[in-house]
Amino acid sequence: MSKPGLKPAFPGIITGASTGIGRGLAIHLAAEHKARLVINARSAEALEKTKQAVEAKGGQCFAVVGDIADPAVRERMVETCLSEFGGVDLLVNNAGLATPGLVSNLTTDDWRQVFEVNFFACLDSVYKVLPQFKKQGYGKIVNISSVAGKVAFAGSVCYSASKFALTAMSNGMAAEFAGQNIDVLTVCPGWVRTEFFEKNSVADIKNPTLIAQENNFRGWMMREVLSISTEQAVKEIETALKKGGSHELVMTAPGKLAERIQGIAPGIIQAINRMVPLDAVDSSTAAEKTKKETSTSA
C-alpha cells in the first residue's frame, strides 16, 4: 500500500523550475513542507531567483543549470540530490517544450527535439531515480503532461504526440509500480497562466496568459472559465501528493470537458478539428508574422 502524504523536509527534484508550475511548486513545497530540492532549468539567472525564493520559505535548494535534453544534466540532478540530501523522495518531470505550427511547416528535427524534452528526458529521469526508490521502498513521480496529451488538436500535432506518449508512459508506470510503493501522478493541465506560451513562441494574440490580462469579456472568460492560475495548479498537485497513491489529474473546465468528449464521443472532437480553419489553429509566431506581411502587401 502506498504511503500517503509527504515527509517533512523531504528530498526531491523538479525540472523546469525557473518559471510556471515548476517554480510555483518548488516554492510551495518549501513553504509547506520545508522541502530539500534540486531544481533545474536552462536560465541560470531565473533558476537562481527560484532558489532564493525556496530558501526564503525555509527549504534547502541546489540549482543544476542546463538543458534537460542533455543526459549529463539529468545525471547531475540525481547525483546532487543523493549526495547533498541522502536520497530522493520526489521527481517532478515538469520541463516541457512546444514547437507550435502545422505539420507541413515542421521538420523531423523539430519533432525529435520536442520528444527529447517532453518524453525521453522524463523517461530517463525516472530510470535514474528508480534504483533509489526501490532501495528505500517508496517514491513519488509527477509527470506534467497536458490535455493535449489526451486530445490531439490540429496545429499542435507535434506537441500533442509527445504528450500522448508521456501520458501513456506515466499511466502505464502507475500500474506497474502499484505494488512497489511508488506513486505516479499524471498531470494533464489545460491552459495554465504561465510564461510557457511566451517561451515557446506562441503568438501573442493566442497566448492565454496575455489574453487573461485584457480588460474585456474575452479576458474575463480566460481568467474565470477557460484557464487556471499557477497557484491553482500547484495546490491541486500538492493535494494529490498528500493524498498518496497514483492518480491522473485533468485540469481546467475546458480540459475536463474535451477529455470526456474524447472518451465518450471521439467523433465530435474529430469533426471540430476538421471544421476549424488551419490558419486559426496555427499558433506559431511565424504564422502571425506571415499573416501580417500578407496583409501589409495586399
Let me know if 138 is a catalytic residue: no
Burial of residue 111 (CB within 10 Å: 0-12, 13-18, 19+) is: middle
User: What are the contacts of 254-260 at 24+ separation with CB within 8 A?
Assistant: 254/147, 254/190, 254/191, 254/225, 254/226, 255/147, 255/188, 255/189, 255/190, 255/191, 256/190, 258/147, 258/150, 258/151, 258/190, 259/147, 259/150, 259/151, 259/188
Assess contact for 273 and 249: CB atoms under 8 A: no
The residue annotated as part of the active site, out of 85, 119, 159, 164, is 159
Q: Which residues contact 253 (CB under 8 A, 6 or more apart)?
A: 190, 225, 226
Cα(272)–Cα(1) distance, integer angstroms: 43
Q: What is the set of active-site residues?
A: 159
